[in-house]
Chains A and B, each alone.
Chain A
C-alpha cells in the first residue's frame, strides 16, 4: 500500500511501505534482544537465588545454640566472636547493629580471658581508648604500640591466625564499657544483625567464575555493555544496507 492510498496514516505496527516493514521488523528484533538480555537475566537471577549463609554464620549458629542452652565451651565463645568480627569487618553497618556487635565481642573477650587477667584486659582496653581519643594522627607511636599489643592479645583470645584480618580490627571494636554486660535486648539485636549481614542471595550464576569475576557480575558489568555496542553497530550496518537496497537517500 502506498502512503497516498492510506491518506498518510501510519504507525510503527502498521508500516505503509516494504522498507518501513523491514525496518519495523528489525527494530522489534533488536528491542527484544535488548530487553531479554537485560531484564531476562535479572529475572533469572531472582528465580534461581537462595539465601545462603557465609561460613561465619554457620559457625555462629552452632555455637550460639550451645551458648543459649548454657552448654558451651570457650571454643563456642571464640567462634561467636570470630563471626561477630566477620560482620564488623564489613563497612556498611547500621549504627544500632554495630553497638550490639561491639557489645557481643567485648563481652565475649572478657568471658574468654583468664579470671586473673580480666582486670588487666579492661585496663589495657581503657588505656587504648584514652590514647585513641587524644590523638589526631593514627601514626602516633603510643597509639600504634598499644594497638599492636592488643592485636596480639585479641588474636590469642579469639584464636585468630596472624594473617586473619579480623585480629587487626578487634582492638577498634572491643569497648571497655561493654565488657561486663550483654543484656537480652542487645543479644536480640546481635542475633538479628548476624542473620542480616551473613546470609546472602546466591545461586549457580553468582558462584560460577568467569575471567575472575563472579559470573553474574561479569554479565551485567561487562558483557551487557559489549552487547549494547554490538546491537548499535549491527543496527547501523543493517540500516545502511537497507537504505542502499531500497535506494533511500538521506
Chain B
C-alpha cells in the first residue's frame, strides 16, 4: 500500500494540469482544478490513515508512544494549525488590523507557558487523557467525569470553527451551498478519523503539516515577487506592504500592477490597518490584552494539546517537541499577516465588494492573479489544516467519551474491543453535534475557536496548574474552582448565544464587552485559581500517596 502512494500522486499530476481552468471569478461554480487537487489530497490522507491504522486501544489513544520529538513537533504543529490559523487569523487582521495580532501572539505565546509550566510534568504523570489526570490527581470519579465532559465540550466548540472553515472552502471549490459543504466535509473528516485512529492521525499529521505549509507559502512567494517586494523571505518582505497600506500607495507610473479584476495595485492611506486599537476598528486596548491572555492560558489547558505530550516516549521529548512544534507553527504564523496585508490592497477597490473575511486568504491569491491550480492547492491546504485539527479533536473527544466516561466511570471491565467501539461511537456523535452547530455560522472562525480557548482557560488550566505545582491543591478546591470557572463560562456563552439569537439579557452590553465569548478567561481563570486556593486551604488536605507521587515522580 505504501508503495502505491507516490505513483498515485505522480500519475494524477498531468490530470491536474489538464484540469486547470482560468477560474478567476472569486465565487461561482465548480472549480475543476482546485477540486481535483482537494480530492487527491483527501484520498491521500485516507490512504495514509489506512496504512497506519490503529490496531488496538493503546494505539488509538496514544499512538504507541513511538513518535520522535521532531515528528511529534510536526504533529503538534499540524494539530494546531487549524482553519483558525490558516484562514481565521488573516481574516481577523483583514477585518480589524492590529487587533488581529492579539490572536497571533495568543496562539503562539501560550506554548511558552505550556512548556515551562506543564509539558514535562504532564508526561511524567503518565496518564492518557486530561480527564485521567484530573480524576487521578484529585482522587475523584466525579471530577474525572466532569473533566471528560468539559474535554468533550471544548473539542466540540473547537471543531465548530473548523467545520465552518471546511464548509467555506468546500463551498468555494465545489460551488455548492454552505450547508451542504459543511455536511460533506464533516462526513469526509469523520470517515478518515474513524479509519485511522491516532497512530494513523499522527502519521497523517506529519504529511499534512508539509502540505499545509507548502500550500500556504507558495502563493506568498509569488505575491511578493509579483508586486515587487522582497520575495526571498516574504515573512519579512510583507513589512513594506503593511507600510504601503498605512501611508497609501499611488498608482504605479512605470509598472502595470493590477489585480485579477483589472484594478490598479493602489490604496488610499489606511493607518487604521496597523495602528494599535484604532478607533475605526471598534476594538480597544483591553480587548487586545484580554484576547492574548485568554488564548495563552487556553493553550495550556486544551485537552487535545495536552494529550499530545502522552504520545512522546520521555519527558525530555515532550519538552523538545514543544520547541519543534512552536517553530513549525510560527512558520505559518509569520506568514498569515502577509495575506491580510496583500488582501487589503488587492481588494481595496469598491468594485471588489464585500468579501467573506474567513476566505480572504484564498481571495487574496485569486485577486493576485495566481494560477488557479496554485489557488486550488492553497484551498486544499486550508482544508487539510482543518482536517488535521478536527481529527485530533475528535480523537481527544472520543477518548474522553470512551476512556474517561465509559471505562473509568461506567464499565471498568469493558473489553478493549468494546472500548474501541465506544471511542468510535463518541467520534460519530461529536461529528454530528458539531455539524449541526456549524450550520448556524455564528461568528468568524478565529472567534469561534477562541471560545474553546477561554473555556479551557477557565476550567482545565487551573486544575493542571495547581495540580502540578501545589500539593495543597485538593478535591474540594478543584470542585470549587471548577464551579467558578464554569459559571463564568456559562454566563459568557449564554450572553453570546442570546446576542446572536437576537435576545437582549440584563446588562447585555456590559457583560458582552467584559465577558465576550472569545476572551472571558481573562477573569474566569484567575477567579477559578483564587477560589481553588482558598477552598483548598480550608479543607482536608491532599492524600499522602498523591503528594508523595508528585514529589517523587512528577518533580523528581
Residue B95 lies at the interface, judged by CB distance under 8 Å to chain A: yes
**Is B141 part of the binding interface, using a Cβ–Cβ cutoff of 8 Å?**
no
CB distance from A191 to the nearest CB of B (A): 15
Count chain B residues whose beta carbon lies closer than 8 angstroms to a beta carbon of A: 84
Cα distance A250–B316 when bound, in Å? 7
Complex Cα spacing A213 to B240, Å: 6
Is A228 close to B, CB under 8 A?
yes
Q: Mark B245-262, 1 if CB is under 8 A from A, else 0.
A: 010111101000000011
Summed over the interface, the residue pairs from A and B with CB atoms below 8 Å come to a total of 214
Q: Name the A residues within 8 Å of B271 (CB-CB).
A: 54, 200, 202
Q: Please choose the segment from A112-120, A163-171, A176-184 that sits at the chain B interface, where 4 or more of its residues have CB less than 8 A away.
A: A163-171
**B116 partner residues in chain A, CB cutoff 8 A:** 27, 30-31, 231, 235
* Residue contact A200 to B471, C-beta cutoff 8 Å: no
A229 at the interface (CB under 8 A from B): yes
Contacts of A46 in B (CB 8 A): 276-277, 285
Asked if residues B262 and A200 are in contact (CB atoms below 8 Å), the reply is no
Most interface-central of A9, A164, A165, A239 (chain B CB within 10 A):
A165
Distance between Cα atoms of A10 and B280 in the complex (Å): 50
Q: A8-B551, A221-B101, A240-B316 are in contact. Are A248 and B270 (CB under 8 A)?
A: no
Shortest beta-carbon distance, B108 to chain A, in Å?
A: 5
Q: Counting CB contacts under 8 A, is A232 at the interface?
A: yes
Tell whether, in the assembled complex, residue B551 and residue A3 are in contact, meaning their CB atoms are under 8 Å apart: yes
> Contacts A39-B289, A211-B236, A232-B115 given: A90-B323 contact, CB under 8 Å?
no
Given contacts A222-B334, A228-B112, contact A213 B323 (CB under 8 A): no
Q: Which residue of B lies closest to A28 (CB)?
A: B116
Measured CB to CB, the closest approach of chain B to A47, in angstroms, equals 10
B14 to chain A, nearest CB (A): 32
Q: Across the interface, do A92 and B95 meet the contact criterion of CB distance under 8 Å?
A: yes
Cβ–Cβ contact B544 & A206, under 8 A: no
Q: How far is the CB of B257 from chain A (nearest CB, A)?
A: 12
The yes or no answer to B31 lying at the interface (CB within 8 A) is no
A91 to B351, CA, bound (A): 11
CA distance A224 to B104 in the complex (A): 10
Residues of B within 8 A of A233 (CB): 323
B519 within 8 A of A: no
Interface of B is mostly: helix
- List residues of A (7-27) whose CB comes within 8 Å of B's CBs: 7-12, 16, 20, 27
Given A10-B550, A42-B276, is A213 in contact with B243 using a C-beta cutoff of 8 Å? yes
- B115 in complex: contacting residue of A222, A235, A248, CB < 8 Å: A235
Docked pose: A214 CA to B249 CA in angstroms: 15
Contact between A10 and B551, CB atoms less than 8 A apart:
yes
B535 close to chain A: CB less than 8 A: no
**In the assembled complex, which residues on chain B have CB atoms less than 8 Å from the CB atom of A31?**
113, 116
Q: What's the Cα separation between A5 and B270 when bound, in Å?
A: 65
Instruction: Say whether B314 contacts A250, CB under 8 Å.
Output: yes
A224, B327: Cβ atoms closer than 8 Å? no
In contact, B239 and A225 (Cβ under 8 angstroms): no
Given contacts A164-B250, A236-B319, contact A38 B272 (CB under 8 A): no
1/0 per position for B525-556, CB-CB distance to A under 8 A? 00000000000000000001001101110011
Interface presence of B279 (CB below 8 A): yes
Least CB separation from B354: chain A residue:
A91
List the B residue with the shortest CB-CB distance to A26: B116
Contact at A228–B268, with CB atoms within 8 Å? no
Q: Is B117 an interface residue (CB 8 A)?
A: yes
Q: How far is the CB of A26 from chain B (nearest CB, A)?
A: 8
| B366 partner residues in chain A, CB cutoff 8 A | none
> How does the 8 Å CB contact mask read for B325-353 relative to A, with 1 for contact and 0 for none?
01100100110010000001001111100
Q: CB-defined interface of A61-80 with B at 8 Å, one 1/0 digit per residue?
A: 00000000000000000000
Q: Is B315 an interface residue (CB 8 A)?
A: yes
Cβ-based interface call for B464 (8 A): no
Question: Given A11-B472, A250-B124, A218 and B279 touching (CB < 8 A)?
Answer: no
Complex alpha-carbon distance, A38 and B279, angstroms:
22
In the complex, which residues of chain B have a beta carbon less than 8 angstroms from the beta carbon of A196?
A: 279-280
> What residue in chain A is nearest B106 (Cβ atoms)?
A38
- Distance in angstroms from A161 CB to nearest chain B CB is 8
CA distance A173 to B268 in the complex (A): 15
Cβ-based interface call for B231 (8 A): no
A229 in complex: contacting residue of B263, B288, B323, B348, CB < 8 Å: B323
Docked pose: A243 CA to B237 CA in angstroms: 41
Pair B112/A30 contact, Cβ less than 8 Å: yes
* Distance, CA A54 to CA B349, complexed state (A): 20
Q: A92 contacts which chain B residues (CB < 8 A)?
A: 95, 272, 280-281
Let me know if B275 is at the binding interface, CB within 8 A. Answer: yes
Interface check B278, CB cutoff 8 A: yes
Considering the chains assembled together, what is the distance between the CA atoms of A56 and B268 in angstroms? Answer: 10
Of all A-B residue pairs in the complex, the 8 with the closest CB atoms, nearest first, are A89-B268, A213-B239, A212-B239, A212-B240, A8-B547, A12-B469, A165-B266, A250-B315
Interface positions of B (Cβ within 8 A of A): 95, 98, 101, 104-105, 108-109, 111-113, 115-117, 120, 124, 230, 235-237, 239-240, 242-243, 246, 248-251, 253, 261-264, 266-272, 274-281, 285, 288-289, 292-293, 314-316, 319-320, 322-323, 326-327, 330, 333-334, 337, 344, 347-351, 469-472, 544, 547-548, 550-552, 555-556
In the assembled complex, 9 residue pairs joining A and B whose CB atoms fall closer than 8 Å, in A order, are: A12-B469, A20-B555, A42-B292, A197-B272, A200-B271, A212-B230, A217-B101, A221-B101, A222-B235
Chain A residues with CB under 8 Å of chain B are 3, 7-12, 16, 20, 27, 30-31, 34, 38-39, 42, 45-46, 49, 54-56, 85-86, 88-92, 138-139, 162-166, 168-169, 172-173, 196-197, 199-202, 206, 209-214, 216-218, 220-222, 224-226, 228-229, 231-233, 235-236, 239-240, 243, 248, 250
